Amino acid sequence: MPKFSPIPASPVVERAEGVAADGTRIRIVYMEQTVANVAFALTIPGDGMPRIVHWGRPMPAAGRDTALLHAYDALKPQRVSGALDETAWPSVLPTQAESWIGEPRFVVRRGGVELFCGFTVTDVTADVIGDVPTVTVSAEDAEQGVRVLWTAELEQGGLIRQHVTVRNLFGADAAPLEIGRVELGFALPASATEILTATGHHLRERSPQRQPLTVGRFEKNSLTGRPDFDASLLLTAGVPGFGFEHGEAYAVHVGWSGNSCLSAERLPYTTGLIGGGELLFGGEIELDGADGEAAYTTPWVYGSFGDGLNEIAARFHDHLRRLHPNLSAKPRPVILNTWEAVYFNHDFDTLKALADKAVEVGVERFVVDDGWFGSRRDDTSGLGDWQIAQEVWPDGPKSLKALADYVHGVGLEFGLWFEPEMVNPDSDVARAHPEWILSPTAGRLPMQGRSQQVLDLTNPDAAAYIFDCIDSLVGELGIDYIKWDHNKLVTEPGSRFSGRPAVHAQTEAVYGIWRRLKENHPGLEIESCSSGGGRVDLGILEYADRIWASDCVDPVERADIQRYTSLLVPPEMIGEHVGDSPAHSTRRATSQEMRMAMAFFGHLGVEWNLLKQPQENLDLLAEWIAEFKKHREWFAIDAMVHTDSPDPAVRVDGVVKPDRSAAIYRFTQLTTSATYPAAPVRLPGLKPDANYLIQPVPVSLDIEGATSPAREAIGNGQSALGWWTADGTVMNGAQLASYGLRMPSLHPANAVLFWAIEV
């Protein structure tokens, strides 16, 4: 029998070797994060690539080595009639050499000729590196000159991530190795027969869609140089009917801001795979083989396991919170962004007055949006000319510096909008440097979007121009925060500098500029905005301090946009703003309470011309902002939870303290319910054996519909809800998770906040 050789560390990494029933030598790697309640195990049969044989809860220590050795015999499929001599049992990087006959997942070419690689494993290492169990597997096809180094890590929060580095082993005298596709996979149990993804468009990102995982392939591709509005963020496969609160499920995400693919695939001969990788255009990546050191490393492909989507999301949140400790160390400043307040109509006196109003209501960061530079009086010209507009700011840098100094002087941080990756053809920089524009040929530009083209940041001169402009302005104006936008789809991305498609290199160039800006200006924060929510991924979020979820701030639309964005992004990193009514994007009228409640759990902001609001609206906004500030430090470490309501008209979302001693929930009545009043709702996340005081948050105590006076003027008006008082009621956590409690009867497009505090 095999015996594990444990590596003395916590969390757990164990290795073992043995011999299977058919005589195959088996190497086993078991990794566990005990606190996260997740384990991951691989078998490496003979010299073949790793197979995933366990992904789920930790296995008992007693007999674990024997059980995993037997997993090879238990899971390896039999040979069947009409197929190859070995039935497909996909590895983490399946090829036809191991009987994979699904979509090609490892595509490389030399001299234009596709290679069919069969990899032989040459080395396996496993260790704990900085509290992260890590396994690396080296393999190569020596005859064809291709080597791969596959790495998997099991993070402290239970997230698994894998990537692979591909090397060209042939020297410079051989044809380069062209990388076509490298798509990594996680094996699925047979019970995972339903998939959840999201679709969307501008102003309606992250709309959920479900379907069976049948025999065949489902994929979500992005070929616009960014994840885009239709990005799923996660592709999740699970038992039928899995939801936020329950149901075994497995989710994947590609941490990359360029072109990518998420896929789920099942063959008639084997269980399913989910995974993904970067999508590359022909000739985009070629390894020239100089000294045998040329390499391509894929983006990280992340996997999250959980009993329900809330647990899956918590693992991604843990990952991002560890990357960005400033999110909890520095309470998220309340923002006022000037876009929907003034659009392009900038002038010193108006913005100064708006800053004063911002201070009055409790705002802490003032962000000047599009329109401060070049000839940018509308969206048709000036983009790319990152010099302060003399027309708007007669003294140039002195004028905008005066505003920045004034903003700082009244106690606000100062932020500024940029869109550095794009350019208007009607701009000084485009006229001076037409070769800086990504285009398929010198004589033809791609189709425009918003009167824009894409600036080729793979050209060192263009990248230096952009970096120097932003770097100098950050220093001169004392910029604390950059809103970094990206509005045009990146199509026909030919670089006249390299002569190649440039999405991969462009993405790396953006990451590089962000890194350098943050190195030069410690404490600088950057928001990822891309026509709203068009660039949300763990690649950009390695550097971004928050994302703009959508250009739509209509709270009814935001209810699901924010809910499904939070499957990947913790709430404190999601820009959630209180806007005008009717909403500028939908013309839907909503109550101020609804708009404030929908923004309450995120990185709270204001997208509203406060200069045009009556004092009573400003006072109410100030009251809600003050309430938000009481809780925001907890929001940065709380668990985000959502309920599975059988009523499609309602949403219940919440944030629960790590020790589950308290939580705040939001009940939203989007439309009218089939039941009248709406049925009781469950509250997930609390201790089942504890009692909780349930009370309205004070700002919601007297919201319309919560108490009887709100509708007494209407004939046959509703009665008061018995517990919706300042005294509240006391209930048990198990009760709240099963039968729940009744919410106030609200008009459509209204929401209330209430908390649960352990007593």
**Per-residue pLDDT at 719:** 82
Does 407 fall in a domain? no
Kind of pairing between the strands at 248-254 and 260-266: unpaired
Residue after which a domain boundary falls, among 279, 300, 323: 323
**Would you state the structure tokens that stand for residue 610, as one six-digit string?**
């406060």
pLDDT at 703 over 80: no
CA distance 676 to 695: 22
**Per-residue pLDDT at 706:** 55
Describe the strand order of the beta sheet including 51-56 as a list of residue ranges: 12-19, 25-33, 38-45, 51-56
Does 206 fall in a domain? yes
Contact 236, 302 (CB under 8 A): no
Please give the average per-residue pLDDT across 655-664, as a whole number: 97
For 338-348, how does the pLDDT look when each residue is reduced to its tens digit (9 = 90+)? Answer: 999 999 999 99
Q: The domain that contains 183 carries what CATH number?
A: 2.70.98.60
In this prediction, residue 709 has a pLDDT band, given cuts at 50, 70 and 90, of very low
Kind of pairing between the strands at 662-669 and 650-656: antiparallel
CA distance 171 to 173: 5
CA distance 144 to 162: 24
Cα–Cα distance list, 8 to 133, 289, 393, 546, 759 (Å): 12, 40, 64, 38, 41
Please give the average per-residue pLDDT across 503-529, as a whole number: 98
Does 12 fall in a domain? no
CA distance 13 to 34: 11
304: containing domain = 85-323
292-301, 564-573, 678-687: least confidently modelled range = 292-301
Residue after which a domain boundary falls, among 283, 299, 323: 323
Contact 429, 436 (CB under 8 A): yes
Q: What angle do CA 514, 519, 520 make, to 5 degrees?
A: 100
Residue after which a domain boundary falls, among 323, 358, 378: 323
Does 280 fall in a domain? yes
CA distance 99 to 83: 9
Please give the average per-residue pLDDT across 585-600, as a whole number: 97
For 416-470, how does the pLDDT look when each residue is reduced to its tens digit (9 = 90+)? Answer: 999 999 999 999 999 999 999 999 999 999 999 999 999 999 999 999 999 999 9
Q: What is the pTM of this model?
A: 0.97
CA distance 172 to 177: 10
Share of the chain above pLDDT 90, in %: 93
Share of the chain above pLDDT 70, in %: 96
List helix spans (H) across 12-77: 64-75
Listed in sequence order, the residues at least 6 apart from 329 whose beta carbon sits closer than 8 Å to its beta carbon are none
Contact 237, 264 (CB under 8 A): yes
Nearest to 373 by CA among 416, 432, 435: 416
Between 291 and 106, the higher pLDDT residue: 106
Contact 64, 14 (CB under 8 A): yes
| Mean pLDDT for all residues in the chain | 95
CA distance 630 to 734: 28
CA distance 290 to 598: 55
Does 748 fall in a domain? yes
Please give the average per-residue pLDDT across 197-212, as a whole number: 97
Residue type, 393: W
**Per-residue pLDDT at 5:** 52
**Per-residue pLDDT at 215:** 95
Kind of pairing between the strands at 273-278 and 184-187: antiparallel
Does 242 fall in a domain? yes
Cα–Cα distance list, 681 to 40, 221, 543, 668, 738 (Å): 35, 37, 38, 11, 9
Listing DSSP states for 362-381 in one string gives: T--EEEE-S-SBTT-SSTTS
CA distance 208 to 40: 28
Nearest to 393 by CA among 414, 410, 371, 415: 371
The residues with which 547 forms a beta bridge, in sequence order, are 528, 574
pLDDT at 252 over 50: yes
For 537-578, how does the pLDDT look when each residue is reduced to its tens digit (9 = 90+)? Answer: 999 999 999 999 999 999 999 999 999 999 999 999 999 999
The number of folded domains in the chain is 2
The answer to whether the peptide bond before residue 11 is cis (omega within 30 degrees of 0) is yes
Does 696 fall in a domain? yes
Q: The domain that contains 657 carries what CATH number?
A: 2.60.40.1180
List helix spans (H) across 592-728: 592-598, 615-635
CA distance 251 to 671: 30
Does 328 fall in a domain? no
Listing DSSP states for 52-65 in one string gives: EEEEESPPPSTTHH
Contact 399, 393 (CB under 8 A): yes
DSSP state, 221? E
**Per-residue pLDDT at 394:** 87
Core vs surface per residue 97-120: b (16+ CB within 10 A) or e? ebbbebbebbbbbbeeeebebbbe
CA distance 388 to 477: 11
With 0-12 / 13-18 / 19 or more C-beta atoms within 10 angstroms meaning exposed / middle / buried, residue 380 is: middle
Contact 44, 17 (CB under 8 A): no
